[in-house]
């Protein structure tokens, strides 16, 4: 019991310190307090994303959103290095990097796809405004499968708004930029 209380406190403190507190974090805390042992700790993006997709397929939309949110914070395909120590160069005495440690994070492609999936889940939950915000975030991050967005059945209720977002983010052709309109697209009268 004492370990469970310590675990709940550490989860809460960690979320507050990292600025990650959300309704999903609150749901997770309630599950821990209730003693649910089926709370899974994911260690990488792919595992959390797969669980999020499975939860969405099962109609567990809140759980799916929480898992997508978690996936974005976990190590993914993105890679960089962080300098962890410095030393003095024997050549000129300048300070130079000595040791590096690898840093993994969700790649741009993984972030784009996740935000598109969040938009789909929000649309299924009838949260159209939040769905459009998530879709716009996906486009802003570089998601460019515009035909998929336009054909997505989850966006049926907001198809006109999705079309406006696609028009905003889809690159314009040279002719369209030059003329200010697309001569092959029917113009409103």
Q: How many CB atoms lie within 10 A of CB 185?
A: 8
Q: Is the dihedral of CA 111, 113, 114, 116 positive or negative?
A: positive
Confidence (pLDDT) at 78: 87
Q: What is the pLDDT along the chain (189 residues), one digit of tens a residue?
A: 444 444 444 444 444 444 444 455 555 555 655 655 456 788 899 999 999 999 999 999 999 999 999 999 999 988 787 777 777 777 777 777 777 788 888 999 999 999 999 999 999 999 999 999 999 999 999 999 999 999 999 999 999 999 999 999 988 777 766 777 666 666 666
Looking at residue 2, what DSSP letter applies? H
Phi, psi of 98 (to 5 degrees): -110, -55
Confidence (pLDDT) at 6: 43
Structure token digits, residue 9: 């406190």
Confidence (pLDDT) at 150: 95
Q: Which of 183, 177, 150 is nearest to 165 (CA)?
A: 150
* Residue linked to tokens 């209730």: 34
The rounded distance, in Å, linking the Cα atoms of 123 and 113 is 15
Record the pTM: 0.68
């Amino acid at each position: 019991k004492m370990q469970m209380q310590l675990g709940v406190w550490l989860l809460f403190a960690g979320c507050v310190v990292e600025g990650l507190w959300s309704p999903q974090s609150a749901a997770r805390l309630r599950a821990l307090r209730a003693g649910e042992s089926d709370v899974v700790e994911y260690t990488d993006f792919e595992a959390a994303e797969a669980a999020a997709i499975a939860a969405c397929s099962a109609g567990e939309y809140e759980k799916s959103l929480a898992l997508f949110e978690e996936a974005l914070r976990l190590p993914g395909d993105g890679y960089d290095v962080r300098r962890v120590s410095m030393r003095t160069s024997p050549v000129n005495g300048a300070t130079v990097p000595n040791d590096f440690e690898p840093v993994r994070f969700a790649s741009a492609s993984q972030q784009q796809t996740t935000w598109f999936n969040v938009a789909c889940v929000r649309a299924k939950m009838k949260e159209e405004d939040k769905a459009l915000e998530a879709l716009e975030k996906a486009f802003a991050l570089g998601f460019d499968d515009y035909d998929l967005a336009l054909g997505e059945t989850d966006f049926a209720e907001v198809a006109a708004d999705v079309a406006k977002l696609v028009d905003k983010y889809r690159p314009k052709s040279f002719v369209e930029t030059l003329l200010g309109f697309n001569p092959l697209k029917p113009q409103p009268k």
